[in-house]
Amino acid sequence: MREGDAPAIRLKGVSKRFGLGNLALADIDLEIAKGEFVFLTGPSGSGKSTLLRLLFCAERPTSGEISVDEMNIGTLSGAQIPLLRRKIGVIFQDFKLLNNYTVFENVALALEVIGLRPDQVKKRVKQVIEGVGLGTKLNRKAVQLSGGEQQRVAIARAVVNRPPIILADEPTGNLDNKRTEEVMLLMEELNARGATILFATHDERLYQNTHRRVVRLEDGKLEAAQ
Ligand SMILES: Nc1ncnc2c1ncn2[C@@H]1O[C@H](COP(=O)(O)OP(=O)(O)OP(=O)(O)O)[C@@H](O)[C@H]1O
Ligand SMILES: [Mg+2]
């Protein structure tokens, strides 16, 4: 197999159990090719967020193997996790913004930690924030934004680093139709530039008319939906 043929994301026999509870994920096999855009759907509680969280080591699988961009996550040491996370932009379901930081600062942090020059940070951060329609709110604190605006900051922060893999957890959950369309276009654009995207949503309208692959979780089990 040529190196380029390796999938961006691969789960093999992956299960996850929290404490003594039921399996949140049961024996998941999933491969996502580099550059693919896949929708992950399923009802509330079916395991979408858990699956995404396993991919950036926020949770560890109970069993099974996971690789991301040819890194075997099961054998990653704590010190190697930042290396993995540099490759992944995560849009969290609950945003995880720093409330008392401004829009600019929330997004800039993601670049400062990788040691980009301040003038480059400024340029890129502004560009991305304008791209999500918040150019006039650069200096507003996150806590002073609406839910939809916070969501767009979270999206800007996830993509500013130009990560090869984007994990989006209900990134349009708080947005109206117009904003949802804008986010979908942004995702298409990022995908066209080469990013692999795994997009979790329970909103059927987002994938009804798509030619993209849709995989569905039902009670922790994976099935192809389309
Ligand atoms: N940290 C945790 N501790 C215990 N149980 C958890 C934890 N995280 C998730 N679960 C359980 O795992 C199952 C899957 O949850 P998950 O959040 O992955 O679902 P989801 O598909 O993302 O749902 P939603 O559409 O509501 O976001 C649920 O039964 C949930 O209660
Ligand atoms: Mg979820």
Residue 157: the pLDDT is 95
In short, whether 50's Cβ falls inside 6 Å of ligand 1 is yes
Q: Is residue 192 part of a domain?
A: yes
pLDDT value at residue 3: 53
- Kindly give the distance from the C-alpha atom of residue 140 to the centroid of ligand 1, in angstroms, as a whole number: 32
Read off the pLDDT of residues 74-83 as tens digits, 9 standing for 90 and up.
888 889 998 9
Q: Does 201 sit in the ligand 1 pocket, CB within 6 Å?
A: no
Quick one: tokens of 219? Answer: 């009670």
From atom 7 of ligand 1, which residue's Cα is the shortest distance away? 18
Asked if residue 76 belongs to a domain, the reply is yes
Among the bound ligands, name the one nearest to the CA of residue 28.
1
Q: Indicate whether 9 and 82 sit together in one domain.
A: yes
Q: Which domain holds residue 135?
A: 97-149
Residue 185, domain CATH: 3.40.50.300
Residue 92 within any structural domain of the chain? no
Verify that 104 and 83 share a domain, yes or no.
Answer: no
Q: How confident is the model at residue 225 (pLDDT cuts 50, 70, 90)?
A: low
Regarding whether 173 and 83 lie in a shared domain, the answer is yes
In a mutational test of the pocket of ligand 1, which residue from 16, 28, 40, 48 has the highest number of ligand atoms less than 8 Å from its CB?
48
Higher pLDDT, 177 or 4: 177
Cα(122)–Cα(2) distance, integer angstroms:
38
Residue 156 domain-assigned (yes or no): no
Using one digit for the tens of pLDDT, what is the confidence trace for 139-168?
999 999 998 999 999 999 999 999 999 999
Give CA–CA dist 211/6, Å, rounded. 22
Whether residue 45 has its Cβ less than 6 Å from ligand 1: yes
Residue 1 is predicted with a pLDDT of 44
Mean confidence (pLDDT) of the chain? 93
For residue range 130-143, list pLDDT tens digits in order.
999 999 999 999 99
Same domain, 80 and 184: yes
Instruction: Quote the pLDDT of residue 203.
Output: 92
Residue 2 confidence (pLDDT): 52
Same domain for 122 and 188, yes or no, is: no
Whole-angstrom distance, CA of residue 161 vs CA of residue 221: 32
**Cβ-based burial of 83 (10 A; exposed 0-12, middle 13-18, buried ≥19):** exposed
Closest ligand to Cα 46? 1
Query: How many domains is the chain partitioned into structurally?
Result: 2
The helix/strand count (H/E) of the chain reads as 6, 10
Ligand nearest to the Cα of 53, by number? 1
Mean pLDDT of 175-201: 92
Q: Does 102 map to a domain? A: yes
Percentage with pLDDT > 70 across the chain: 97
Q: Is 24 in the pocket of ligand 1 (CB under 6 A)?
A: yes
- Best substitution site from 14, 18, 41, 44 to test ligand 1's pocket, by max atoms within 8 Å of Cβ? 18
Same domain? For 102 and 172 the reply is no
Same domain, 46 and 103: no
Strand 213-218 versus strand 196-200 pairing type: unpaired
Check whether residue 200 and residue 135 sit in a common domain.
Answer: no
91 CA → ligand 1 middle, Å: 17
Is pTM beyond 0.85 here? yes
139 and 171 together in one domain: no
Q: Is residue 19 part of a domain?
A: yes
Averaged pLDDT, 73-102 = 92
Q: What is the pLDDT of residues 11-58, one digit of tens each?
A: 999 999 999 988 999 999 999 999 999 999 999 999 999 999 999 999
Amino acid 116: pLDDT: 85
